[in-house]
Amino acid sequence: MSWSKLKQHLESFLCPALYGRVEYRATSYRYLPDKAGQCYIAVDKKNVLNMSDKTTLIRWYETELEIKNDSDIQIPINNDEMEAVRKDTKGMVPEDRLEVMARNRKKSEYAKELLLAQSALSKSNFVVVANKFLSISIEESIESHDILLNILALLDRRVGKKRILNMTEKMKFKHPSVQYFYELRFSTL
């Protein structure tokens, strides 16, 4: 499918409140066929989703330690996770330290998932992912681990107010770019 046709399809699924604010853009290199063009998403005429651009509004993590030390990331833990740490340490660790250890474990897992999702996004071809988005259900796009599929689903008019409101907790564990587009969509409710 040509870029103009694909862009037209994607924009036809945009939430009415975001129509005109969100744009799908692409650059191509006419005389350099071996160099791939770039696709990105702009909000209010500002380039928002493009990893190669350092002026982007979204934070891209480079190391696991950066994610662990980010004070904006709040990881909730439950009793089962604390019990797992208690079992691993054979009950030899004080109660307050158990919580810290469980949170650090969960942050480590979260950091690995985030970096994996980021690297998949940097390697992905926007056109391929957009075509996939147009061919699968909106539920699959929302539940996917692919950042771009999540973003396209959040901008979609088929995702209603009730579903957006129910996604608040789930969004805490998503990449900052997905959180940004969730907040954008949430602001239109």
pLDDT at position 53: 47
The model's pTM is 0.68
Amino acid, single-letter form, for residue 178:
V
SS3 at position 168? helix
- pLDDT by residue for the chain (189 residues), tens only, comes to 787 888 899 999 999 999 999 998 876 655 555 555 566 788 998 888 765 544 555 666 677 777 777 777 777 888 888 888 888 888 888 888 888 888 888 888 877 777 776 666 654 577 788 889 999 999 999 998 888 899 999 999 999 999 999 998 888 888 888 889 999 999 988
Tokens 């587009």, residue located: 181
Give dist(CA 61, CA 64) in Å, integer. Answer: 8
pLDDT at position 56: 52
pLDDT at position 37: 53
| Closest to 40 measured CA to CA, from 159, 168, 181, 160 | 181
pLDDT at position 140: 94
DSSP 74-106: -----HHHHHHHHHHTTT-S-HHHHHHHHHHHH
pLDDT at position 29: 57
pLDDT at position 21: 92
Bridge pairing between strands 38-43 and 46-49: antiparallel
Give dist(CA 122, CA 172) in Å, integer. Answer: 21
Q: Where are the domains of the chain?
A: 3-57+124-186, 64-117
